[in-house]
Amino acid sequence: MEDNQHTAQTEQSVQDRIRQQIAENPVLLYMKGSPKLPSCGFSAQASQALMGCGKPFAYVDVLQNPDIRAELPKIANWPTFPQLWVNGELVGGCDIILEMFQQGELQPLVEAAAPEQPEQ
């Protein structure tokens, strides 16, 4: 009985952490690996498109965070990675990200949401 309660609490805390990440980062990519060292082709393409927008974005490596990898699809109702979140809304995965980038729709979305670079 206690194990089930612990599991439920753990899932809840992971979901809270995910929601906090999404709330705190206006442009957030959940991916496999990192933008500089992606671990799958889809994550590589998605992060390249985002980098092509020329604005800072946050990312979470789901391979380093198996708890997030397990829980995020439940929250997002989206089973695969990468996942791009902008202003708390799921934009989509690799195909959607690339299509939006090629059609010039991703850049203004990211530019509007991205934090301004701090003055040097």
The answer to whether 16 is a known ligand-binding residue is: no
101 appears as a binding residue in the annotation = no
DSSP assignment of 30-77: EESB-SSSBSSHHHHHHHHHHHHTTS--EEEETTT-HHHHHHHHHHHT
40 annotated as belonging to a binding site for a ligand:
yes
Angle (CA) 12 15 2, round 5°: 20
Q: In this structure, are residues 101 and 107 in contact, taking their beta carbons and an 8 Å threshold?
A: yes
Residue 81 annotated as part of some ligand binding site = yes
Residue 53 counted as an annotated binding residue: no
69 is in an annotated binding site: yes
Numbered residues of the known binding site for [2Fe-2S] cluster? 40
Numbered residues of the known binding site for glutathione:
32, 69, 81, 94-95
Q: Which residues are annotated as a binding site?
A: 32, 40, 69, 81, 94-95
